[in-house]
Amino acid sequence: MANKTVVIGISSLILSISAFAADPDISKLPPAAKQAGVTFEKDIKPLFETSCLKCHGAEKPKSKYRVDSREAAIKGGKSDEAAVIAGKSEKSPIIHFIADLVEDMEMPPKDKRDKYPALKPDQIGLIRAWIDQGAK
């Protein structure tokens, strides 16, 4: 019975990794905002403060990912993968997560959205514009 449990556990892990590694369906992304001159301090940080900072702030950031500064938001967390790929919002993991394109990696997590509201499509579009404009 223990071997069966190990096999099931390993199978579940492989499926989770495969789902995470699969390319998300970017056709489901809201379009980038048309606004020019989007900056982290003026436009993006206030969005993160509302929905993300409680879990991804300076104190004990989940997955070692912080969004309280531009540099930290770009860098990413414990995966050592950049969360923001400047100029390419459609390839940026943060966009995939906040747009709910990666199952079990939705941000904020679906079960916490009563406390931490999900970003609206126009807000995701603004973050996309920031990234597409070079993540300044």
Q: What is the pLDDT of residue 7?
A: 42
The amino acid present at 30, given as its one-letter code, is P
What was the pLDDT predicted at 1?
A: 52
Phi-psi region of 135 (alpha: psi -120 to 50; beta: other; left: phi over 0): left
Residue 23, pLDDT score:
85
Q: Which residues of the chain have pLDDT under 50?
A: 5-20
Helices of type H across the chain: 2-21, 45-51, 70-75, 93-98, 121-132
pTM of the predicted structure, to 2 decimals: 0.82
